Structure 1
């Protein structure tokens, strides 16, 4: 079974954090959930983004999620894959140089990387997707294109794989995204 790193943070999208974390554990994989500035057994706040008919998603407070590893102890070389959930967390996580160095290390090592929704903001900030086909929440399309990738508009329940990179637009794509990621493991 694989050892997977999940980089997360306050106001990550609840489903995009909880569902893949629990599903990958249920499959027998080891998943370390970490957040810069927080330690094992501390919690992060999550939020729930929903599609309710407005021009963009709405946001509600989600669950607290307990981290199970220390960000400061993470080395990309210790993991087989990287998972980047969306929500608002990537907006500020992309400002952390160590987060970006980890993303770069995974991509340079050609290890599987999965990003959903706004998780693509970490890929664009790390400047690692040039020439790739990438999906993300539609609001991230300009960033994906500016990073030199081809933005692929998918249905909300679809995912795409380009090499070892799996991307998807939002939490309804969990089954497809997880299927793509597990195939790479």
Structure 2
């Protein structure tokens, strides 16, 4: 069954972490509405590409402009089946918006599926959505996860952690695993047919 998914984004969201799930979730038949506070459908947010190039932390480069497809002011969380929170720098300022916090709290309180990656944990922590939950995030967010009452789980950058309705991952290299686990939580089944050469 197709799900209606809300994606919370903002300026300097991580490029891959917004583009890939936005497109992949639609590819399998789900509806995804990407919104940003104080912006409307058709407007865009700037993205940043975070890479791992041997430095002590990630590097940052300009990404694409990502076009929103719904109006933040009109969003009603009760209309959605699940939430996606990409990482990047957006979560650090989105968590200051009380409407955003209330949206995240709705999904946590109603036990709807939530997928967060990288710095998305900052928003979940601010909303009190990870208390008592096992989760992962970009390693620099571990203190925030722990301070919010979550159990930070260290996993390879290509892995994901599932705790009930919550699916988290450390960064975009985990997309295959993170999205596969999120689809399971959503109840999405993908059937593979044998391909025959003609």
TM-score scaled by structure 1?
A: 0.99
1:24 matches 2:56 = no
Q: Distance in 2 between the 1:88 and 1:115 partners?
A: 13
Secondary structure at 1:16 match in 2 = helix
2:108 maps to 1:107: yes
Deviation at 1:162, TM superposition (A): 0.3
Give structure 2 stretches of 5+ with no counterpart. 187-198
Aligned to 2:44: 43
Measured after TM superposition, the shift of residue 80 of structure 1 is: 0.5
SS, match of residue 119 in structure 2: helix
Q: Which runs of 4+ in 1 moved over 6 A?
A: none
Query: Matched residue of 1:130: which SS?
Result: coil
Residue deviations 1:8-35 (CA, integer Å, cap 9, x gap): 0100000000000000011110000000
Match of residue 88 from structure 2: 87
Q: Hey, what's the Cα distance between the residues in 1 that align with 2:27 and 2:124?
A: 27
How far off is 1:127 after superposition? 1.2
Where does residue 193 of structure 2 map in the other structure? none
Equivalent in the alignment of 1:7: 8
**1:68, distance to aligned residue in structure 2 (A):** 0.2
Deviation at 1:120, TM superposition (A): 0.4
Q: For 2:176, what is the secondary structure of its paired residue?
A: helix
Larger radius of gyration: 2
Offset at residue 128 of structure 1 (A):
1.8
* CA drift at 1:64: 0.4
CA RMSD in angstroms, aligned pairs only: 0.5
1:73-121 C-alpha deviation (Å, 9 max, x unpaired): 1111100000000000001000000000000000100100000000000
Q: Distance in 2 between matches of 1:130 and 1:31?
A: 26
Q: How does 1:121-132 map to 2 (within 5 A)?
A: 121-132=122-133
Return the alpha-carbon distance in structure 2 between the equivalents of residues 175 and 162 of structure 1: 18
